[in-house]
C-alpha cells in the first residue's frame, strides 16, 4: 500500500506539532520526526525545504487552531473582545510551547519574534476589537494603536505568567485579562455587543 504525498506531509506536520507541544520549538529534529512518521529524513526534505520551512508550516496550522478557539469563545461571550482575549490567555498558558514558538525566531529566517500584520492575519479578531473600541467611544484614528497596546499587554501578561514571575491564586486565571488589560486601560463599552 502506498501512502499519498499529502498524507506524508500531514503526518510530518502533525508529528512536528506534537513534538513542539511536548518538548518546545527548540528541540525539533527532522530525523526524529521523520522516523516517528515511518519515513526517512530524505523523504521529509521532499515535502519541506528545510526544518524552518516545516516549523513555519506548523506555526500557520497552530495559528489557525488558536484563531478558531478564540473566535468560538468570542461568539459565546457576553463581551466578544474580552472573551476572545481571555480565551487566548487560557490557550497560551495551557500550551506554553506554542506561545514560545510564536514568540521566538525558531522556524523563521528573521531574527526575533515573528512579525505579522495583525490586521490581515487575524482579520476576524481585528474586527471584533474594532467594534469593541468603537463601543467604548475610542476615535477610529486611535484604534489601531490601542489594538496593538492590548496585544502587547496581553502577550506580556502571558509571558509573565509563563515565567512564573507572577503567581495567581484565584479560581480563574483569565480574570487577569480584566485587571491588567481592560481595567488598566479603562475600556468599558457604553453599549452591549
Instruction: Tell me the C-alpha distance between 31 and 10, whole Å.
Output: 16
pLDDT at 49 > cutoff 80: yes
The CA–CA distances, whole Å, from 69 to 7, 51, 86, 100, 157 equal: 25, 27, 11, 18, 19
Q: What is the pLDDT of residues 11-26, one digit of tens each?
A: 999 999 998 888 878 8
The whole-number pLDDT of residue 24 equals: 79
Would you place residue 112 in the very low, low, confident or very high pLDDT band (cuts 50, 70, 90)? Answer: very low
Q: What is the mean pLDDT of residues 159-182?
A: 89
The whole-number pLDDT of residue 117 equals: 62
Q: What is the pLDDT of residues 59-91, one digit of tens each?
A: 999 999 999 999 999 999 999 999 999 999 999
Containing H/E element for 133?
helix 123-135
Q: What is the mean pLDDT of residues 96-123?
A: 66
Residue 3 CB neighbour total at 10 angstroms: 12
The whole-number pLDDT of residue 166 equals: 79
The whole-number pLDDT of residue 167 equals: 79
Sign of CA dihedral 17, 96, 70, 185: negative
Task: Confirm if 73 and 83 have CB atoms less than 8 A apart.
Answer: yes
Residues 5-182, CATH architecture: Orthogonal Bundle (1.10)
Flag the least confident range among 41-55, 68-82, 143-157. 41-55
Would you place residue 119 in the very low, low, confident or very high pLDDT band (cuts 50, 70, 90)? Answer: low
What does pLDDT average to over the chain?
Answer: 87
Question: What stretches of the chain show up as alpha helix (H) in DSSP?
Answer: 5-23, 30-36, 41-47, 51-76, 80-94, 96-102, 118-121, 123-135, 143-162, 175-177
Higher pLDDT residue, 154 or 105? 154
Containing H/E element for 23?
helix 5-23
Q: What is the mean pLDDT of residues 44-66?
A: 90
| Lookup: cell for 19 | 513534538
Whose CA is closest to 8, among 63, 52, 46, 61?
Answer: 46
The whole-number pLDDT of residue 116 equals: 57
Amino acid at each position: 500500500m502506498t501512502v499519498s504525498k499529502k498524507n506524508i506531509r500531514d503526518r510530518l506536520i502533525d508529528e512536528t506539532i506534537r513534538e513542539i507541544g511536548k518538548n518546545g520549538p527548540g528541540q525539533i529534529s527532522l530525523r526524529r520526526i521523520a522516523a516517528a512518521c515511518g519515513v526517512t529524513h530524505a523523504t521529509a526534505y521532499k515535502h519541506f525545504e528545510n526544518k524552518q520551512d516545516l516549523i513555519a508550516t506548523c506555526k500557520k496550522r497552530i495559528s489557525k487552531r488558536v484563531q478558531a478557539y478564540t473566535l468560538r469563545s468570542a461568539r459565546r461571550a457576553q463581551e466578544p473582545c474580552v472573551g476572545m482575549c481571555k480565551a487566548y490567555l487560557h490557550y497560551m498558558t495551557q500550551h506554553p510551547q506554542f506561545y514560545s514558538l510564536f514568540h521566538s525566531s525558531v522556524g523563521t529566517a528573521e531574527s526575533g519574534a515573528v512579525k505579522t500584520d495583525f490586521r490581515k492575519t487575524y482579520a476576524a479578531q481585528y474586527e471584533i476589537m474594532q467594534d469593541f473600541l468603537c463601543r467604548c467611544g475610542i476615535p477610529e484614528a486611535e484604534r489601531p494603536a490601542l489594538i496593538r497596546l492590548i496585544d502587547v499587554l496581553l502577550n506580556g501578561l502571558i509571558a509573565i505568567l509563563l515565567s512564573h514571575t507572577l503567581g495567581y491564586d484565584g479560581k480563574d486565571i483569565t480574570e487577569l485579562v480584566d485587571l491588567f488589560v481592560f481595567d488598566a486601560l479603562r475600556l468599558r463599552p457604553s453599549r452591549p455587543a
